[in-house]
């Protein structure tokens, strides 16, 4: 399925996700599939409980209404994008992971707080981002339409996958790329406290700048028109990336080393913190 899949639940957070996903589908030249997931099953704590059919019908209707409203938002945001909708009964995270196996990307909103009706709490977004085999975008804020793409860079395959996608996104969006690398999780004041003077800090930063430039050289050749701004500094990684993004970035790209599926590894602490604290969409890219 050459389409971006977006999950909706009728909340303001999922509406933001739909708007972003529609724009992304337009930029990438793919379709958009809107999915509403409802769960009418009972928990293990009440296995004998039978939910009345009229209640199930009402739950399904809520999901249907959410999908129809989302379709209207998508058509307004990107009228030329091919649109498909569906409603699915089941666990939200599992259903989206299954439906998203062949999707170009999975997009979800998150608001941190939930309600009885709400599906896309932080836990669902985090679960999907941690276990999907493909790209997942968590929309915590719509970001700036003309802002930069921000990516974290280190010396791992996880970073390589994220950097490649970040270059691609910057090229598609005709914007600059900010590459952030932290060569130690200690900030400047902490380094000084350990007796490392400013000249030594500057020297180590310059060494790191050269290493980052060398590592990114291959990607730069593939995207010669993308202007890259490098932030190389001593700092905790998530803080450095969030500071670089601020409120002006249009997208943050981070890597994940999980194996996919429900037995896969969880997201790293840096990616999780960025997802939970960013004010702009965060794309998690599988290594």
| pLDDT given for residue 269 in this prediction | 76
Q: Matching CATH topology for 3-139 and 149-286?
A: yes
The Cα–Cα gap between 10 and 32 comes to 17
What pLDDT sits at residue 187?
A: 67
Q: How far apart are CA 234 and CA 240, in angstroms?
A: 9
Q: What pLDDT, on a 0 to 100 scale, did the predictor assign at position 159? A: 84
CATH superfamily of 3-139: HUPs (3.40.50.620)
User: How far is the CA of 227 from the CAs of 149, 168, 219, 223, 242, in angstroms?
Assistant: 11, 12, 12, 9, 20
Q: Which of 280, 283, 274, 255 is nearest to 104 (CA)?
A: 283
Fold of 149-286: Rossmann fold (3.40.50)
Q: What is the DSSP string of 14-59?
A: HHHHHHHHHHHHHHHT-EEEEEEEE--PPPTT-TT----HHHHHHH
Partner residues linked to 256 by β-bridges: 286
Q: Is 141 exposed, middle or buried (0-12, 13-18, 19+ CB in 10 A)?
A: middle
Q: Are 211 and 217 in contact (CB under 8 A)?
A: no
Tokens found for residue 176: 């600059």
d(CA 173, CA 284): 18
Mean pLDDT per block of 10 residues along the chain (287 residues) reads: 90 92 97 91 63 86 94 97 94 91 93 43 78 91 91 82 94 96 72 72 77 82 92 86 93 74 51 86 89
Phi/psi for 151 (5° steps) reads: -140, 145
Q: What is the pLDDT of residue 146?
A: 92
> Quick one: 62 exposed, middle or buried, by C-beta within 10 A (0-12, 13-18, 19+)?
middle
- Per-residue pLDDT tens for 136-152? 999 988 888 899 999 99
Place of tokens 């900030």: 187
In the chain, what are the domain boundaries? 3-139, 149-286
Torsion angle defined by CA atoms of residues 104, 106, 107 and 112, in that order, rounded to the nearest 10 degrees: -160
pLDDT at position 2 is 86
């Amino acid at each position: 399925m050459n389409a971006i899949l977006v999950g909706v639940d009728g909340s303001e957070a999922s509406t933001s996700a739909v708007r972003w996903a529609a724009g992304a589908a337009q930029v990438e030249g793919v379709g958009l599939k809107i999915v509403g997931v409802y769960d009418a099953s009972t928990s293990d704590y009440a296995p004998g409980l039978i939910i009345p059919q009229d209640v199930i019908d009402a739950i399904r209707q809520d999901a249907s209404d959410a999908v129809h409203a989302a379709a209207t938002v998508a058509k307004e945001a990107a009228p030329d994008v091919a649109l498909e909708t569906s409603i699915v009964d089941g666990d939200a995270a599992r259903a989206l992971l299954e439906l998203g196996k062949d999707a170009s990307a999975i997009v979800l909103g998150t608001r941190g707080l939930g309600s009885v009706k709400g599906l896309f709490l932080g836990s669902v977004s985090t679960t999907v981002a941690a276990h999907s085999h493909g790209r997942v975008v968590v929309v915590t804020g719509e970001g700036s339409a003309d802002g930069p793409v921000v990516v974290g860079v280190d010396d791992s395959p996880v970073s390589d996958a994220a950097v490649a996608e970040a270059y691609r996104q910057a090229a598609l969006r005709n914007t600059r790329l900010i590459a952030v690398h932290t060569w130690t999780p200690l900030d400047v004041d902490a380094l000084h406290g350990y007796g490392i003077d400013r000249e030594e800090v500057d020297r180590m930063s310059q060494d790191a700048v050269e290493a980052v430039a060398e590592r990114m050289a291959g990607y730069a050749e593939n995207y010669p028109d993308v202007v890259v701004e490098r932030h190389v500094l001593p700092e905790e990684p998530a803080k450095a990336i969030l500071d670089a993004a601020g409120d002006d970035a249009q997208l943050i790209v981070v890597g994940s080393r999980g194996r996919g599926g429900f037995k896969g590894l969880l997201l790293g602490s840096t990616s999780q913190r960025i997802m939970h604290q960013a004010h702009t969409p965060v794309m998690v890219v599988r290594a």
